[in-house]
Amino acid sequence: MLIQLDLISLLCFYIGLANVAQFTGSVTSIYFGIPGESNSVPAVIEGHRLSRQGQGHSAIVGTGLGSLLAGTTSIFVLMALSGYYNSIISWFYSINNQFILFVTVFIFFIILTSNRWYTNIFIMVFGYLISRIGFNDWTGEYFLSFDNLSLGTGIPFFPVVLGILVVPNLFKHYNFELADYTRERLSDCVVKFFKNVQYSFVGTFIGMVCGLVPAVSTVLATNVAHKIVRWYEKYPNNIPSYRALISAESANNSAILVTLLPLIVLGIPITGSEALLVSILERNVIDLNWQVIVDNNYHIMLFASVLMSLCIGIIVSWPLSTMLQRIIMFAKDYFSIVIAIILVCCLMYVGHTVNDIAYYLLVFVVFSVVGWVCRNINMIPFIFVFLVQEQVESVMIVVYNMYI
């Protein structure tokens, strides 16, 4: 069906989908602790703990409003800067600036994450090595794959994050008395958000900066925003932070829009889904760049489409939240079993898409054990390095070849 669409229809469809997915992804992260995507990790950490304390609906409302605020702010800033897109890309994508940004973020993670600094370094190195398994484009060789076909493709993200983050949560207590959906009124949730709105703006700003880091923009944005607010609040590790959650989710939506710049301005895809979109455009022999968009007066429609999709995200996520709360209350006696079944089904589906269900299940089991053993350690640095390894390696190798 997508093959039949023209440029503006495809762009509106893609941006709409990307925006709405951020809202619905938060819902599963918060209620079930199942990340909708790689940038939902802070939502799993903070949101699911809030949900277990009966603040699931206010978390959904807060992340929804934060995402709306971030998306709207970002799109107006992007509109105002439309004459400078080439300069922005030229400055932010310069290899020196990317290098400085990554070094800063790494130091930041080592110092500010709640573990001891040497523990952080250890789990970050562990994350790097695990992520490096498989074929390496730089060396042209396989690393620790032992001639195994599945290992040769690398360790997949989804079973790792489920094992490390979700499984340890399955064994923790879920307070169903507090989770009663009638306890949280919508108006209270909205008031709570506006009392903390400054953290959403912090996330928005971080998202706009991190959005210009290719391939890992949203992961970087959500993690940095989450970590900064956590550090500022100085909460103990076991207390969930509503402010860190809305900051991270605001950063996510802001970064999602900014990361589209190379696609919209130059027609260069950064993420896998963007590559798919470009592939469809190329099959239809359609050019995509900012000049084409302006020449056809598509830019106003694009901006309107972004605003509309943000509103749709809110409209979809709030009733979905109430519905899920009812389901949770209904199934409270079997909650852990229900979550486990959903987990395995999701895992098998994702494994099926790459014809490797057994491998995905095996990785899940192994990392569930790792997650259980490390349940008292903050594993965010591991997940972060696991996700950004390729991009970090890429920046380091380019810098090395250019200057050394």
Residue 360 CB, nearest approach to another protein (Å): 13
Cα angle 241, 244, 245 (rounded to 5 degrees) comes to: 85
Q: Which is nearer to another protein, 125 or 402 (CB)?
A: 402
- Nearer of residues 212 and 244 to another protein, judged by Cβ: 212
Q: Kindly tell me which of 143 and 201 has the beta carbon lying closer to another protein.
A: 143
Element (H, E) at 142: strand 141-143
Considering beta carbons, is residue 304 or 402 the nearer one to another protein? 402
Q: Phi, psi at residue 177, to the nearest 5°? A: -65, -45
In contact, 46 and 63? CB cutoff 8 Å: no
Our CB check for another protein shows the closer of 179 and 213 to be 213
Rounded least distance, CB 267 to another protein, Å? 5
**35 in Cβ contact with 218 (< 8 Å):** no
| Sign of the CA dihedral with 167 first, then 169, 172, and 176 last | negative
Q: Which residues bind another protein (CB under 8 A)?
A: 86, 89-91, 93-96, 135, 137-138, 140, 149, 152-153, 214, 262, 266-270, 272, 274-276, 278-279, 282-283, 285, 287, 289, 353-355, 390-391, 394, 397-398, 401-402
How far apart, in whole angstroms, are the C-alpha atoms of residue 233 and residue 325? 29
Provide, rounded to whole angstroms, the least separation between the CB of residue 220 and another protein.
16
Question: Minimal distance in Å, beta carbon 330 to another protein?
Answer: 37
**Closest CB to another protein among 110 and 348?**
348
E strand or H helix at 357, and its extent?
helix 357-373
Q: How far apart are CA 100 and CA 97, in angstroms?
A: 5
- Nearest approach, Cβ of 285 to another protein (angstroms)? 5
Min. distance of Cβ 59 from another protein in angstroms? 33
Exposed, middle or buried, 314 (CB in 10 Å: 0-12/13-18/19+)?
middle
